[in-house]
Amino acid sequence: MKKRVLVVGMLDSVHLARWTSQFAGTDIEITIFPSRRFRNVHPNLLRQLENGSVSILSALPKKLRTFFGYADFLLYENKFLSLFGLSRVNKLKNCLEGDSYQVVHLIEFQHAGYLYIEMGLGQKQKWKTILTNLGSDIYYFSQFPEHRKKIVELLGAVDAYSAECFRDYKLAREFGFMGSELPLVPNAGGFSNEVFELTKVPILERNEIFLKGYGGEFGLPDVMLAVSEKILLEYPGFIINIVSVTPDVLPRVLSLNKNFPGRVNFWTTRYPIPHQQVLEILGRSLIYFGFSKSDGISTTFLESLIMGCYPIQTNSSCANEWIDKGFAASSVEADISKLFPIIDSVIQNKDGLVLASKNNLELAKGLLKFEQIRKTSILYYQ
């Protein structure tokens, strides 16, 4: 007998798509409800929809999947229709009350989680509710009183909690969570054998750097740009690759590109870099930088461990927990005076990095394989 699971999450999220991909071919039937407005369904999720491993609650049939985002916007973001009770929260409530889901999985707090408590159902339900923490859901947002109140209410309304950092399990308990702690795994799942076997440029031949270039609420573009410029000045043979450049950061990246012709490549959030290309760049980069005000475990951080690229992550993340497992990486303050000595040491000591990258790959094979994490993830619903 199949177990019916309603996953509430962001349809354009790579994390959601990678999570649900783990359950293909199992006796778990996954239906996805969009937790917020979206323009496009993530390509990975579209493939799962096409092969029937998931279904999406939409007003349109599967063959019109290209228009899912438009239909969702017209129905659930329309102020006029909301006067007649047609809203995202009411749709979710009707789905839960009218169908026989055994598990409701809320992936992310600020949309899926808040939507759930907005229904006002109380705590005793016919289904079990799982809440998954993505990145900064508790660590960052709990500093704001209006969010902290909702976080406490949400944690009191669910049966089980999952996160990818021990830090966040501890915080959940501090905010009153009394339910079950599910096994800690990366919330985007593991990595296939194909990823582990990708071709990598030998460490001694690498002369590229990989950085995240987003601004907005979580980014630290001032630090990212300062580090980029200093590397370009100090190491004339190096090339900088900046991905996920947001509109607020783009003018400064364009200026950097102009000042260092032929040595700065970048990709914007509007025209994102394909995932396969991310892995290729990591496989020829010496260092990966993740600068943020708050994070969990960046998927790119984990990918860099596999691809032989030395990761440097700001200490607002959980990178330290992976360093404690034995991985060679750095968790450091977002301060160029603290960052650059590490950068300089890595660039000047490529020989030492050869052994460290081999160690990272072997540890990753033991902890980050797709099938291993998949087995643990399936237990969530059993």
Q: What is the pLDDT of residues 148-164, one digit of tens each?
A: 999 999 999 999 999 99
Count of CB atoms situated within 10 Å of the CB of 233: 10
Name the pLDDT band for 56 (thresholds 50, 70, 90).
confident
User: pLDDT > 90: what percent of the chain?
Assistant: 70
Question: Can you tell me the distance from the alpha carbon of 158 to that of 216, in angstroms, rounded to the nearest whole number?
Answer: 30
Domain limits for position 226 = 193-367
The answer to whether the CB of 284 falls within 8 A of the CB of 308 is no
Indicate whether 197 and 138 sit together in one domain. no
Q: What are phi and psi of 83, to 5 degrees?
A: -65, -25
Please tell me the pTM assigned to this model. 0.90
Q: For residue 99, what pLDDT band results from cuts at 50, 70 and 90?
A: confident
In total, how many domains does the chain have?
A: 2
Strands 3-9 and 28-34: parallel
The band of 61, judged by pLDDT with boundaries at 50, 70 and 90, is low
* pLDDT band at residue 38 using 50, 70 and 90 as cut-offs: confident
User: Could you tell me the pLDDT band of residue 210, with boundaries at 50, 70 and 90?
Assistant: very high
The answer on pLDDT for 264 being more than 60 is: yes
Residues 33 and 181 grouped into a single domain: yes
- Residue 378 maps to a domain: no
Residues 11, 42 contacting (CB under 8 angstroms) = yes
375 lies in a domain? no
16 and 157 belong to one structural domain: yes
Are residues 180 and 199 both part of a single domain? no
- Residue 74's pLDDT band (boundaries 50, 70, 90)? low
pLDDT category of residue 60 using cuts at 50, 70 and 90: low
In a domain, 83, yes or no: yes
| 350 and 303, same domain (yes or no) | yes
> Coil, helix or strand for 305?
helix
Residue 197 CB neighbour total at 10 angstroms = 8
Q: Give the mean pLDDT of 259-284.
A: 94
| C-alpha neighbours within 13 Å on the C-beta side of residue 326 | 10
pLDDT at position 83: 57
Residue whose structure tokens are 């590229």: 208
Q: Domain check: are 174 and 205 in the same one?
A: no
Does 17 share its domain with 162? yes
Question: Stretch 337-366: mean pLDDT, rounded?
Answer: 93
